[in-house]
């Protein structure tokens, strides 16, 4: 039996395990998907050594960037993004070879593209500076948008939340939340933004999918913003993961 899994910490919020095990059951695939909650990326070698039937991994917070030094090869797209969330595991005799990919950008661009109107949507704010935000930034720029990262701290190439004025919201009217702010169980939290400056041309896209509607989405919707959560992106990512694991 083949095995696939997810590495990250913590993994209580994981969607992948139920999705893939249901897929295996429905399609009569002789495989299992497991969560590998590892407190340190150095524990990856233990996961690989103790699971010789492992053929693929997904990677989530906080290891999308930290996993890079462990890989034997990286797809050009993942290298350009600087983050990996899919690993293909192949066995060559006693050697294990790891190849990294990024399915975040595929899932995100396919999910947000139908919402975009080139007449109105030219600039975007990317909330957060982690591995997921890099893929989102890459995807938005591929779709022709100008992007700016938003951080809580003073960082080169970013703006801070307190510097986002109503005028910025009007100009950068596509806003993607790549942070865990508002994720269950802390559903009463949301990024600090001037929501009152939003209107029907504003798009709020939240990578969070639990809860279905975050406070970030609710507050924007009150002023007419279009909103979408990360569930469709997640499904599209899962499709892409399976393709990467079985790439010829």
Catalytic residues: 64
At 147, phi and psi to the nearest 5? -130, 155
- Answer left, alpha or beta for residue 28, where phi above 0 means left and psi between -120 and 50 means alpha: left
∠ CA 153-234-79, rounded to 5°: 60
Q: Are 56 and 32 in contact (CB under 8 A)?
A: no
User: What's the CA gap between 78 and 135, in Å, rounded?
Assistant: 8
Q: Are 204 and 177 in contact (CB under 8 A)?
A: yes
Residue 76: partners with Cβ closer than 8 Å, 6 or more residues away? none
Q: DSSP string spanning 73-141?
A: EE-HHHHHHT---EEEEEEETTEEEEEEE--HHHHHHHHHGGG--TTT--EEEEE--SHHHHHHHHHHH
User: What's the CA gap between 109 and 96, in Å, rounded?
Assistant: 32
User: What's the CA gap between 35 and 138, in Å, rounded?
Assistant: 28
């Amino acid at each position: 039996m083949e095995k696939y899994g997810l590495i990250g910490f913590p993994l209580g919020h994981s969607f992948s395990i139920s999705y893939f095990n249901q897929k295996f059951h429905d399609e009569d695939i002789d495989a299992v998907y497991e969560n590998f909650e590892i407190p340190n990326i150095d524990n990856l070698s233990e996961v690989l050594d103790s699971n010789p039937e492992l053929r693929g991994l997904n990677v989530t917070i906080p290891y999308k960037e930290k996993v890079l030094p462990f890989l034997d090869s990286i797809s050009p797209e993942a290298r350009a993004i600087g983050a990996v969330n899919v690993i293909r595991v192949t066995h060559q005799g006693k050697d294990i070879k790891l190849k990294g990919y990024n399915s975040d950008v595929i899932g995100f661009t396919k999910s947000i593209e139908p919402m975009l109107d080139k007449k109105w949507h030219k600039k975007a704010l990317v909330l957060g500076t982690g591995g997921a935000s890099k893929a989102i930034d890459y995807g938005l720029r591929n779709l022709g948008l100008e992007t700016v990262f938003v951080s809580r701290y003073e960082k080169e190439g970013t703006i801070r939340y307190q510097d986002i004025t109503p005028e910025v919201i009007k100009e950068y009217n596509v806003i993607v939340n790549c942070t865990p702010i508002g994720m269950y169980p802390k559903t009463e939290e949301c990024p600090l933004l001037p929501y009152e400056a939003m209107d029907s041309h504003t798009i709020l896209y939240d990578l969070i999918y639990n809860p279905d509607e975050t406070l970030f989405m609710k507050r924007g919707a009150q002023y007419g913003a279009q909103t979408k959560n990360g569930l469709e992106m997640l499904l599209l990512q899962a499709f892409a993961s399976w393709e990467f694991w079985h790439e010829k």
